[in-house]
Structure 1
Amino acid sequence: MRRLLLFLPILALVAACERSGPTGLSGVLLYGSEPLADASVEIYLKAEKDRSVQPFAVASTDGEGRYRLELPPGRYFIIGKKRQSSIDGRPVMLMAECPANPVQVEKGMLEVAPFALREMGRDGRLVPEPGTGLSGRVVHDGDGVAGAFVYVYTDDAVDLVGPSYGAVVETDDAGNFAIDLPSGTFWLAARRRADGSRLGELKPGDLTGTLGPVELKTGQRLNVGTLTVRPVDPVRYRQKRKEGRFADSGTALTGRVVDAEDRPVPGIYIFAYLDSRMVGKPVHISDPTGPDGRFRLNLATGGTYYLGARSAYGGPLEPGEWVGTWDGTADHHAVVETGQVEELGTIRVREVW
């Protein structure tokens, strides 16, 4: 009888567990106000994490945007992600952290309030003012240019190229554009690359043009009229490559760009800097890697260079890009003598979220 009494609490505990069922999280991911199917839901144990930290658990949303994860009781951080492609083939990276983070799982399945993912890297760095913005039309030979990107700069000292633009917008089928902005003085650059990409070196066949300065006041919707673009001059382009940062001087660094699985990665530029911080404009840039991932970085002279790799040429780093550094030294520097070609081995890149 005594032995039976000892077993009763254990049986009661087991029965209670069976009645309570599994514990975990469930909810819905949105894009705008619509359910988002085939998105990833990642669960982390800490908010302070870098990209090397693997999620504690991962699930996918169903056709109605719903997800469900069985988890032990605890405190969790939820992140939603999805990679997809735009109409023009540009990678679109959607992501958001759950506004309720961290969530506490105690008993049963916790229903998390729906939250929406947003497109990363498309928010710009200028904070618009209500009712304030610019509009216009990009034209070439009198016709509107669809799919051109209009970049908004706050300083013309950068020659309206490179990573210092504050906002960007794409033209519609008729070449029209509109963008919300704060008040201020702006310079506009319009570029239509033949491959439809938003970033990268301009080449023959691409269209480019500039406009400015433009003064914009608070509460003003200003139409700037037409922004004319012209083809890149092939003669000037070739001359630039002979004399500029791409010129072959007999001094170079060579190697191969690979991903985490050692597969070659095409379309990657190698950048050489004189500063270990690797900020601003590089002093030399390679041609993009080919299908075999090989690169040759031509240098004007020998010296010490700090090396980075990226799939885009200019503009802020955005989700969907590939990025990396040469890790042959702790601070990513390589040394080459004038007139020598130095083989660096591999540079490993990763996709940025």
Structure 2
Amino acid sequence: MKIVLLLLTMMAVIFIGLFTLEPVSPSADAQAEMVAKQAYQTAQAYFMECGGTRLDRMALVTLGLNAPSDISLEIENGSPDGLRLNVHHTHGGFIHKVDAQGNIRSVPRGRLARLIARFTYPEESEPPKLYGPFPSTRYPDPGSAARLAARNAYSAAEYFFYSNPDRTLTRDDLGAWCGRRDDGVTVDILDGRRQTLRIRARHPGSGAVWEVNSDGRITSPAQKAEASLVTPSRPFTPSRIATPEAADQEARETAAKVFSLSRSYLSEYRPAAGLKLDALKRAYPAYSIPPDVTVEVLDRREETLRLRVSHRLGSKVFEVDPTGQITARPLS
């Protein structure tokens, strides 16, 4: 008798669920929609900057898209003109379909899938962590295009060595990613061995040259070496914070780092709206602001750039003036 009652209860739950389904979780579907937008932007970067003709999952990963494991992405059509992407969250109620123009249409998933998702969705969910994609807009000067080519080539090389650790990288291996460019930039492999990798990107018309080595450090004869910031898959590991002094030290170091990156970003990309932290994160996807550190942009313009940085566990706030001078004062 108890078994019969249990079966009847289960059937009632399934019946009610199938015919009274509401969207499973707004946050789950919002995460999936955000990944869909990021995937489209990354696809455009692949088509426009790398000259790619057929998008695949490897290209998305190489160019910096790192979606959570509970979000599924299907490339229904990988051509530039007929691009179609399908994205959904394991615990979501909709499939987000993206077309070649970037339009997103959300359609309900099957009732059974939505029912399972409804009863298995966790109450708390981590937001998706996305590193990238690289900016998909044209750059105002040839030097920027050469630097982007070097950065993309290094990312492609890292993916190549991940699957082929003992092989030597050749130009043909990069051809699938950035072999054809319409901006005049040529990419040469000076040393294709993993331990001593050297790649050069050159713009013949302007003479701009950028080189990247095995550590991911980008250098130019006309500029100082930059930090190793070209690996989208390299996670940032925050240090352990045990005292307010350590928290303040992390905030000070973050202020100096973000200011340096901001100056480089504003000088290279010259955005009309000035500095925006979201754009800065996309331009330098390998660097992440520590989770307990707050960065405020007080002035967005390059000439008058000012930042304010503090740590949740710290006792001071750090302000950076346009010259890079950092001033500390007690938190009020």
TM above 0.5: no
TM, length-normalised to structure 2: 0.31
Tell me which protein shows more helix as a share of its residues: 2
Larger Rg computed on CA atoms? 1
Tell me which protein shows more strand as a share of its residues: 1
TM, length-normalised to structure 1: 0.30
